[in-house]
C-alpha cells in the first residue's frame, strides 16, 4: 500500500455540535484504492466523520482534502464523493432504471451513454434484468445493491458507506460484504466504510480506525489491530479476549491462545461448559471468580468433561 497515492486527507478536523458532542482533532490519511473502516460503538463519532467528508455537516475546525484539494467549502453535490446510507434511500415511485439514471440525467450525459453505464453497473452488482422493477419489489439486499450501483455510477473519487448492511440479516450481510470487496477490487475505488460490527470491519478493510468517544484509539490493518491491540479498549472491542489479573497487572489473552494442558501452567480451574461451535469448540473454565474462555479443537474437547480440573497455559498475552 505504501507506493499508492494519497487520496483523502483529514487534517486536524474538529466537528462540535451545539451541545458540545462531536469529534476532535481528527487526522487521517487514506490512500487510493483503500477500504478504510471507522469502527466503534454507537455515538463514538463515526458517522460524524463520514458526514463531514460527504459535505452533509460543516466542520468546526480543520480541513479535509481529496486529491490535495480542500473540499470543506463545497456542497455535497459538488464534492467528488458519493454516499450510501443504511436506509437505501431509493425513490419508490421510480423504477430501478429511473433511480439509476436520475443523477446521470442531471449531469446531461447522453442517453446511449446512460444506458451503457447502467447496464455495466447492474452487471457489476449482479442485478442485470431488474431495470423495470420498483424498489418495493426488491429485497433489502437487492435494494442496497441498487443504491451502491447508483453511487458508483456517479464515478466518485471516494465512496462513503454508512452502515450500509446493518438492516440486512446475517447471511445476506456476509454475502454483501464479500461482493463489496470484489467490486472494490475490480474498480480500485477508495472507500470509507462505517460500522459498529467488528467482524464486518475485519473482513472488509485494508485498514481499520478504532474509535472511542470521539477519538481514535488505534489505526492499523486488521491483523495489526487483532494481534497487537494498542489499548485495553481495542483489545476488548476487537475479537474475543480474556482479561486475567495476575501479579497486579491485567493480562489479556485470546481464547485461541489459551491451551488446556495437564502440565503445570499459568492458571488452574475446572471445566464449566463445553460448546461445539462448528469446526472448533468453546470451553469455559471456572478459575476462582473468573471464567476463562478457550477455543480448542474437536479432538481435544472430546477428552474433556464438565467438572474436570484443568491447567491453562497462556501462549500469547498482552499486558496493559
Ligand atoms: N445533530 C446532532 N446534534 C447534536 N449531537 C449530535 C448530532 N449528531 C450526533 N451527535 C452526537 O455526536 C456524537 C457522535 O455521533 P455519531 O452519530 O457520529 O456517532 P456514531 O458513532 O456514528 O454512532 P451511531 O453508530 O449510533 O450512528 C454522539 O454523542 C451523538 O449523540
Task: Report d(CA 275, CA 264) in Å as an integer.
Answer: 25
- 188, 306: one domain: no
Which ligand 1 atom minimizes the distance to the CA of 17?
4
Q: In testing the pocket of ligand 1, which one of 40, 47, 50, 198 has its CB within 8 Å of the most ligand atoms?
A: 47
Phi and psi at 309, nearest 5°, equal -75, 135
- Write out the three cell numbers for 200: 464486518
- 149, 264: one domain: no
Residue-number span of the structural domain to which 181 is assigned: 6-233
Number of separate helices (H) and strands (E) present in the chain: 9, 18
pLDDT of residue 320: 85
Q: Would you say residue 89 lies in a domain?
A: yes
- Write out the three cell numbers for 64: 479535509
Phi and psi at 225, nearest 5°, equal -70, -35
- 70, 99: one domain: yes
Among 233, 256, 279, the domain-final residue is: 233
- 253, 143: one domain: no
Those residues whose C-beta lies under 8 Å from the C-beta of residue 86, and which sit 6 or more positions away, are 162, 163, 164, 166, 167
Q: Would you say residue 274 lies in a domain?
A: yes
- 257, 207: one domain: no
- 18, 106: one domain: yes
Alpha carbon 140 to chain centroid, angstroms: 19
87 SS3 class: coil
Gap from CA of 24 to ligand 1 centroid (Å):
13
Q: Would you say residue 302 lies in a domain?
A: yes
Task: Provide the whole-model pTM.
Answer: 0.90
Gap from CA of 62 to ligand 1 centroid (Å):
19
Q: In testing the pocket of ligand 1, which one of 14, 16, 44, 85 has its CB within 8 Å of the most ligand atoms?
A: 44
- 71, 24: one domain: yes
Q: Which residues does a 6 A CB cutoff place in the pocket of ligand 1?
A: 17, 19, 21-22, 40, 42-48, 196
Q: Would you say residue 53 lies in a domain?
A: yes
Task: Report d(CA 203, CA 184) in Å as an integer.
Answer: 13
pLDDT of residue 2: 53
Gap from CA of 43 to ligand 1 centroid (Å):
5
- 227, 267: one domain: no
pLDDT of residue 170: 87
Its ipTM equals 0.94
CATH of the domain at 302: 2.40.50.100
Phi and psi at 153, nearest 5°, equal -60, -25
Q: Per the structure, how many domains does the chain have?
A: 2
CATH of the domain at 104: 3.40.50.300
Among 233, 265, 287, the domain-final residue is: 233
pLDDT of residue 88: 74
Q: Would you say residue 246 lies in a domain?
A: yes
Q: Would you say residue 148 lies in a domain?
A: yes
Q: In testing the pocket of ligand 1, which one of 18, 21, 41 has its CB within 8 Å of the most ligand atoms?
A: 21
Q: In testing the pocket of ligand 1, which one of 18, 41, 46 has its CB within 8 Å of the most ligand atoms?
A: 46
152 contacts 187 by C-beta, under 8 angstroms: yes
- Which residue's entry shows cell 432504471? 97
- 268, 313: one domain: yes
Tally the C-alpha atoms within 13 A of residue 136's C-alpha that lie toward its C-beta: 4
pLDDT tens profile 173-204: 898 899 899 999 999 999 999 999 999 999 99
- 30, 95: one domain: yes
pLDDT of residue 171: 87
Which ligand 1 atom minimizes the distance to the CA of 51?
18
* pLDDT < 50 positions in the chain: 1
Q: Would you say residue 1 lies in a domain?
A: no
**Measuring CA to CA, which residue among 140, 173, 134, 147 is closest to residue 83?**
147
Which ligand 1 atom minimizes the distance to the CA of 48?
18
pLDDT of residue 117: 95
Tell me how far apart the terminal alpha carbons of the chain are, to the nearest angstrom: 30
- 249, 229: one domain: no
Q: Would you say residue 151 lies in a domain?
A: yes
- 216, 309: one domain: no
Among 188, 206, 233, the domain-final residue is: 233
Amino acid at each position: 500500500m505504501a507506493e499508492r497515492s494519497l487520496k483523502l486527507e483529514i487534517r486536524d478536523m474538529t466537528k462540535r455540535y451545539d451541545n458540545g458532542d462531536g469529534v476532535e482533532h481528527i487526522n487521517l490519511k487514506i490512500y487510493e484504492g483503500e477500504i478504510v473502516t471507522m469502527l466503534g460503538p454507537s455515538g463514538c463519532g463515526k458517522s460524524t466523520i463520514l458526514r463531514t467528508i460527504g459535505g452533509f455537516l460543516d466542520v468546526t475546525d480543520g480541513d479535509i482534502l481529496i486529491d490535495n484539494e480542500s473540499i470543506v467549502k463545497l456542497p455535497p453535490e459538488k464534492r467528488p464523493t458519493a454516499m450510501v446510507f443504511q436506509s437505501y434511500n431509493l425513490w419508490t415511485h421510480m423504477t430501478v432504471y429511473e433511480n439509476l439514471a436520475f443523477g446521470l440525467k442531471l449531469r446531461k450525459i447522453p442517453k446511449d451513454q446512460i444506458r451503457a453505464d447502467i447496464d455495466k453497473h447492474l452487471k457489476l452488482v449482479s442485478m442485470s434484468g431488474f431495470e423495470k422493477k420498483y424498489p418495493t419489489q426488491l429485497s433489502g439486499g437487492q435494494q442496497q445493491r441498487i443504491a451502491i450501483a447508483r453511487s458508483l455510477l456517479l464515478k466518485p473519487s471516494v465512496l462513503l458507506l454508512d452502515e450500509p448492511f446493518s438492516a440486512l440479516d446475517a447471511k445476506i450481510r456476509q454475502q454483501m460484504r464479500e461482493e463489496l470487496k470484489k467490486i472494490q477490487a475490480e474498480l480500485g475505488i477508495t472507500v470509507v466504510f462505517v460500522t459498529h460490527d467488528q467482524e464486518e470491519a475485519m473482513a472488509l478493510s485494508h485498514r481499520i480506525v478504532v474509535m472511542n468517544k470521539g477519538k481514535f484509539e488505534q489505526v492499523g490493518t486488521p491483523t495489526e489491530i487483532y494481534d497487537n491491540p494498542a489499548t485495553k479498549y481495542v483489545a476488548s472491542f476487537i475479537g474475543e479476549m480474556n482479561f486475567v489479573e495476575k501479579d497486579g497487572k491485567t493480562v489479556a489473552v485470546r481464547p485461541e491462545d489459551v491451551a488446556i494442558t495437564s502440565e503445570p501452567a499459568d492458571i488452574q480451574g475446572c471445566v464449566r461448559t463445553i460448546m461445539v461451535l462448528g469446526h472448533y469448540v468453546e470451553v469455559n473454565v471456572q478459575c476462582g471468580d473468573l471464567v476463562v474462555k478457550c477455543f480448542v479443537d474437536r479432538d481435544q474437547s472430546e477428552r474433556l468433561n464438565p467438572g474436570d480440573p484443568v491447567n491453562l497455559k497462556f501462549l500469547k498475552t498482552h499486558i496493559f
